Structure 1
């Protein structure tokens, strides 16, 4: 841990749960390596306590903070400004304190698409199936469309409160990109099977399967998997979710949210400090 001084700048993570997060390890290691007088802490904050938490962070004049489930959409009500990407996506995972102005950013999509490239998967002109319409899902959808994905099939619970936002995103992205976006009910198994059949990549962007509910999985019929399909889960605890285990058993390339976490964190680090995170050193540190 870096030494704490009277001038140490505070950054951190607001979410529920947060005890599993490796963000403190990567950020505090990076601060130390670059000689920056910053510290990163986790705070157990949910949608009911978020407003008071943000008021407190303003008083403390924090340098910035991250948001994870379930706060990425709710935080919009408590910010002063949004980056163009965050406004388009309608969700924020990184907040920057810019001389007292709290500015919301979204680095999730950038982080996820970088993790896809790391797997040597070229998604340009390809089809993607996306499970979920929360903050991470919308960020992934937007960045995928901007990166040249041809078609995105989104599956959501039909009564989700996020549906109006994802429909607005669908309209905006189809105006700004050549990507075609289709929204389906998560309970329409025939639509899901058809979408996955045409897809190069299937992404679980929900918390289903995350610790401690490790037996949960949105895909029950494993016959939808095919060897040309890659399967990604934004969860990294457990390291291999039930979804990824099923996909591997059917011969699919499967990867978790670890690299997404690293790359979205690196972008947040740059926003707060103006410096590049030593990502290669961070990977080695986390392996140890």
Structure 2
């Protein structure tokens, strides 16, 4: 289980997950803490499932503010929490854990990040259907964001259609537009008609991964939100979407949009957004894609 560093800070925050050594979160949050004169440090708790109870015990300590939760623990932490937001309950997953005097309060900043990006293209989103590729926690977060910035309808596509249908059935209770489900292999027509396509799968994380969206479905003006990011550049979906004239939000933009919400929840202070953005750029050598723009906040 990783400590943030040998430096002694007064308070700590962590990203809790497994296989997270690549995370950009410390590079974004630590400069922001320093910019506000806060003697805090953000580190990683990179643990296998067998050590999850130990990691959660560390996050209950008085010197821990809380932190972020990533795979594979976004659902598991619900059982350890004393309080969950309505967003967390609807999604069935949490991505922020706040330690309030030993009590865990859960929020979901995936939803906040997606909604922030969608709100900048709300008029376009409203013109047609949205297609979500995948049926896990990220897909649930997208559905919750679409509750706030609705399209005309939503289709959830997955390799396991029963998982897509289960998620769609849950979402029908709180998404204000029709929500349907289907098999990914049978989704070509829906992808070709979509106004917004959201990749909620891990495809694109590794070099050589295929795109989860056929190239022929990509076209000028299409909105593509890919939750995946790579430090070394764009993945196949992002590159092909941009080449086709689509407008792309990539996983780095998702990380950036998450960060200010997390910062405010942890510290009670307004986040220094420009510091966070420049820190992210310094760590990766490029600016995140904001609907295919130059990444200006």
TM-score, structure 1 normalization: 0.86
User: Residues 17-96 of structure 1: matches in 2 within 5 Å?
Assistant: 17-59=19-61, 62-96=64-98
Aligned-residue CA RMSD in angstroms? 2.6
User: Residues 1-288 of structure 1: matches in 2 within 5 Å?
Assistant: 4-5=7-8, 8-59=10-61, 62-117=64-119, 122-158=124-160, 164=166, 166-174=167-175, 177=176, 179-188=177-186, 192-210=187-205, 213-219=206-212, 221-237=214-230, 238-288=232-282
Check 1:49–1:121 CA distance in 2 against 1; reply closer, same or farther (3 A cut): farther
Check 1:116–1:17 CA distance in 2 against 1; reply closer, same or farther (3 A cut): farther
**Alpha-carbon separation, structure 1, partners of 2:99 and 2:162:** 31
| Structure 1: gaps (5+ residues) | none
TM-score, structure 2 normalization: 0.84
**Alpha-carbon separation, structure 2, partners of 1:108 and 1:119:** 17
**Alpha-carbon separation, structure 1, partners of 2:48 and 2:190:** 34
CA-to-partner distance for each residue in 1:91-145, whole Å, 9 max, x for gaps?
Answer: 1000011222101100111112323445787423532111112222211211112
Check 1:140–1:27 CA distance in 2 against 1; reply closer, same or farther (3 A cut): same
Check 1:36–1:243 CA distance in 2 against 1; reply closer, same or farther (3 A cut): same
CA-to-partner distance for each residue in 1:61-109, whole Å, 9 max, x for gaps?
Answer: 5211111122212221222220111111111000011222101100111
Offset of residue 2 of structure 1? 11
**Alpha-carbon separation, structure 2, partners of 1:23 and 1:3:** 18
Residue aligning to 2:291: none
Q: Does the CA-based 8 Å contact 1:157-1:187 persist in structure 2? A: yes
How many equivalent residue pairs?
278
| Structure 2: gaps (5+ residues) | 283-297
Offset of residue 42 of structure 1? 1.2
